Chain A
Amino acid sequence: MSQSTVTTPPAAVVSPPVGLAARGVNRAFTVKGKELVALQDVDLEIAKGEFVSIIGPSGCGKSTLLRIFADLLPVTSGTPVVDGVTPQLAREDRRLGVVFQSANLMPWRSVLRNVALPLEVMGRSKAGREKTAAELLKMVGLEGYEKHLPRQLSGGMQQRVAIARALSTDPKVLLMDEPFGALDEITRERLNQELMEIWARLNPTVLFITHSIPEAVYLSNRVVVMAARPGRVVEVVDVDLPQPRTPEMRDAPEFHAIEARIRHLLATGGH
């Protein structure tokens, strides 16, 4: 069982369709006259339908990479690819769903109308978008909470609403920026399980940013380990655990071995 892989596949292998890709991506910021390299020569290929996590210390550029894919930030150089096209095209074509660290719900809108917001912006009919939103709420386990206001829900429930909203346009790519970072461990594990089920059912390409090693291992096909100053990819670790994942796997020796490998990479920065 190999735990580390080469990022570029052998030439003989026919590469699968691209879900997300970064080719020689660089991003620099100027802070108080000083140049700060947020991302340096990032190369990454994520196949359609793959679940990939990014883990790394603060300042390693993982959020910057996600924002580049979401077309919220331009690159300094290099080529980002989202679902086979540029991030801008993918965003304008509504092939992207983004879940932020905070649920970021509109406090005056009911749960149902929060989920339906992207469809409302698209101009979908009221009946159509509310039907879709109700189905998605059922999928994230919030049936019966349609008319509630966000502040009446717990943090975990709010984040479920945010996930339902991100899924409302049936996106090909789901970008998640530490979505469960503010939740307690029990809620987090339950939401991990639910996210696994949603992913198995809809099979979007998922890029998932986290600070939690077990979360990254549990959810992902592969885990991208990054390091800071300059922000770069240290290694991409394969997670050779069978699908679908079950809670018992968290206690398996293979699981712990992968965790240990990632912990080692984070501690040494790949050296």
Chain B
Amino acid sequence: MADAGAALAAPPHGGVGSVAKPATSGAAASRSRRITAAWGRALLYALLFVLAICALWELAKVVTQTNDQLMPHSWDIVKQLGEPATRGETWFQYLAGNWVITLRNALVGFAVGSLGGLLLGIAIARNRLVGAALLPITTLMQTIPIVAIGPALVLFLGTGWVTKAFIAAFLTFFPVTVATAKGIAQTSSDSVDLMRVCAAGPLQTLVKMQLPSALPMIFVGLETAAGMAVIGAIVAELPFGTKDGLGATILTSWQFYTIEPTPLYLAAVASCALGAFVVFSVRAVRTLIPAAETQGSTR
């Protein structure tokens, strides 16, 4: 953040940042610095958060005098990572493998759902008839419990990763649609007039003005959707006869909970880490797009 502040405060004619380095690499360097800073901050906060949760956990355990069966020590949960799981893998390796599988499903669904939401959001914002026709249906669709249509989806799409990605996409779709439609609708009428005076066509108005103006709002939708996509991908792995993924891991660990309680907590923590990873990735992308970071227009 100190770097960004210095760049903003730089006087005209060059600026302090570009003195030491060639002008061409200045922008790229500051960009990679911003990525590193964003990830550094995210990791630091995550670490502090985990430590705080562990402290609270142990405190709650002492205060309520809960036994190790219901509430294992946080260090025992961590230790479980080194214990053998299946096929000669440690729990860490086993979880990491399933983590990647669920991440892939969530990301594919997130990408597809976001793109669809973006397109529908644009259509709703630009055409009142389309908005009136589609927004109620989209809202209704959102209230369908995923568990209710799960069996039907398995029949249509099979038990493979496509079903999981579809459910993640389904949950992603709605927040992105609403955020996009709202973001575009909030464009100031002065800006619309400006584009008209410039004799801009509808596509130019959309690309050069409306979408960039809507980006801060769209990213709010994307961050919400990122969490939903992860939850969707995990939930999709629970009841549909799946062997792979964090959802399946949770289910298996749950069945053996009375024998060994720590794996279930590990699986839960891995799910949290997955959600945090995807949400922070979206946030990191946002910091790279100037229009997404600058809120509102000038007065």
Contact = CB atoms under 8 A, between A and B. Distances in A.
A and B are interacting partners = yes
Interface of A: 70-72, 91-92, 94, 96-98, 100, 102-108, 117-118, 120-122, 143-145, 147-152, 155, 158, 169, 182
- Interface size classification for chain B: 20 to 34
B12 A100 contact: no
A237 B230 CA distance: 70
Contacts of A118: 197-198
Nearest to A100: B190
A107 B294 CA distance: 6
A106 B209 contact: yes
A108 B212 contact: yes
A103 B191 CA distance: 10
Given A102-B297, A107-B294, A169-B198, 18 more contacts: A70-B197, A71-B197, A92-B199, A94-B198, A96-B197, A100-B190, A102-B298, A102-B299, A104-B191, A104-B194, A104-B297, A107-B291, A107-B297, A108-B290, A108-B294, A117-B208, A149-B290, A152-B8
Interface in B175-220: 188, 190-191, 193-200, 204, 208-209, 212-213, 215
A150 B193 contact: no
A145 B10 CA distance: 11
B12 A150 contact: no
Contacts of A98: 193-194, 197
Given A96-B197, A145-B12, A151 B190 contact: no
Contacts of A100: 190, 193-194
12 contacts: A91-B199, A96-B197, A100-B190, A100-B194, A102-B297, A104-B188, A106-B212, A107-B297, A122-B199, A144-B12, A144-B13, A149-B8
Contacts of A148: 12
A74 to B, nearest CB: 13
Contacts of A117: 198, 208
B158 interface: no
Contacts of A70: 193, 197
A121 B191 CA distance: 14
Nearest to A159: B298
A147 B15 CA distance: 10
Nearest to B289: A108
Given A121-B204, A121-B208, A103 B299 contact: yes
Nearest to B294: A107
Nearest to B9: A152
Contacts of A91: 196-197, 199
Contacts, number: 83
Contact of B190 (A92, A104, A120): A104
Contacts of A150: 298
B296 interface: yes
Contacts of A143: 12
A162 to B, nearest CB: 9
Contacts of B197: 70-72, 91, 96-98, 118
B190 A121 contact: no
B204 to A, nearest CB: 6
A108 B291 contact: yes
A149 B12 CA distance: 12
B199 A105 contact: no
Chain B CB within 10 A, most for which of A72, A104, A145, A169: A104
Nearest to B209: A106
Contacts of A108: 212, 215, 290-291, 293-294
A205 to B, nearest CB: 16
A150 B199 CA distance: 23
A143 B299 CA distance: 22
Nearest to A155: B299
B10 to A, nearest CB: 9
Nearest to A117: B198
B296 A107 contact: yes
A70 B297 CA distance: 22
Given A70-B197, A91-B199, A107 B298 contact: yes
A103 B298 contact: yes
A145 B11 CA distance: 9
A183 to B, nearest CB: 12
A118 B299 CA distance: 20
